[in-house]
Structure 1
Amino acid sequence: MRALTPYETDFVQWSTEQSALLREGRLSDLDRENLAEEIESLGRSDKREIRSRMEVLIVHLLKWEFQPGHRSHSWQSSISEQRIWIANIIKDSPSLRRYPAQVFEQTYKDALPVAIRETGLRKAHFPSQPPFTAKEALEGRFWPGSPLSTDDFLRD
């Protein structure tokens, strides 16, 4: 039997070997510390993905609300896409259902400078507190600002 690949040497090979050890029931041969760390990182990865997608969602919702004359199908698509991705992550990991609301205020603060940069509007143009809730942001029928009209769209 050959020596196991160290975690630091080749992550893919190490992962393959660790999964084989698990399947074979060779628990005493597992790299328990690194394996536990990798399993924990899976949950952190989903949380990072939700935060990232919430930031993009908030930026586009702010642009939608505060630049109605620039609304486009690409903004609408991006908003819908972020909502779908977040919903799918939560569907796969229901324990994260409350996570978007937990990080919403901080994510809004992180999204605000991006919205300012992308719109060219002054910081004072945007509210310091979110003008919508996390629940609204994730709701497929919610569109901030004036009512949705196909006449409002610019062609992209």
Structure 2
Amino acid sequence: MSLYETDFVAWTREQAALLRALPREGNPLDIENLAEEIEAAGRREINELSLLLMRLMTAIIKIAIAPPGDDRRPWAVESFNLKGSIEVCLDDGLAAHVDLKRLWPRAWQAAFISLQETGAILPPKVEKCPLSIEQLIDPEFHPNEGVAIIREMIPDAFKS
């Protein structure tokens, strides 16, 4: 198997480096722009997966921290739809390039702001992402498992 098939992002970086190593003198190729476009293709893949994962974590967080009585069904449906989208866009090796440490605070903030608009009293932020990339991309990982993991991290007074 080639690097293209096993880690598209690493392949884009390698190809861009190879292009930049070509001699410029007498070469009609627009080397720098070609290299940039190839690298951008890898970044787009990372960004697409990152956005889907952030939205998935946001939905799971909302389910976990919403006050009693809130209808959690829309977030549950969204989380299942997002799991399907993640499965479709996931290339081999792509998940290794996603930074959950960067995405988690954004997902928490998005969930918090959304729920705060209802006037709910919400738990303090869970600082460190308790979910792994492997769990989030695993087709067998049920969003309710993520909810349970997050609920373990919040104080009992806020659990519903």
Q: C-alpha distance in 1, partners of 2:35/2:102?
A: 29
8 Å CA contact 1:65–1:145 kept in 2: the answer is yes
Q: C-alpha distance in 2, partners of 1:81/1:131?
A: 21
Residue of structure 2 equivalent to 1:114:
110
Which of 1 and 2 has greater Rg? 1
Deviations 1:23-68 (A, max 9, x none): xxxxx54323212211110000111111111111111100011126
The alignment's TM-score, normalised by the length of structure 2, stands at 0.60
Q: C-alpha distance in 1, partners of 2:137/2:45?
A: 16
Deviations 1:4-38 (A, max 9, x none): xxxxxxxxxxxxxxxxxxxxxxxx54323212211
Mark the CA change 1:70 to 1:122 in structure 2 (over 3 Å): closer, same or farther. Answer: closer
RMSD of aligned residue pairs (Cα, Å): 2.5
Residue of structure 2 equivalent to 1:78:
78
Structure 1 gaps of 5+ residues are 1-27, 147-156
Give 3-state SS (helix, strand or coil) of 2:34's partner: helix
2:134 is aligned with 1:141: no
Structure 2 gaps of 5+ residues are 1-26, 150-160
1:122 CA displacement: 5.4
2:85 is aligned with 1:94: no
Residue of structure 1 equivalent to 2:69:
69
8 Å CA contact 1:56–1:111 kept in 2: the answer is yes
Residue of structure 2 equivalent to 1:59:
58
8 Å CA contact 1:61–1:137 kept in 2: the answer is no
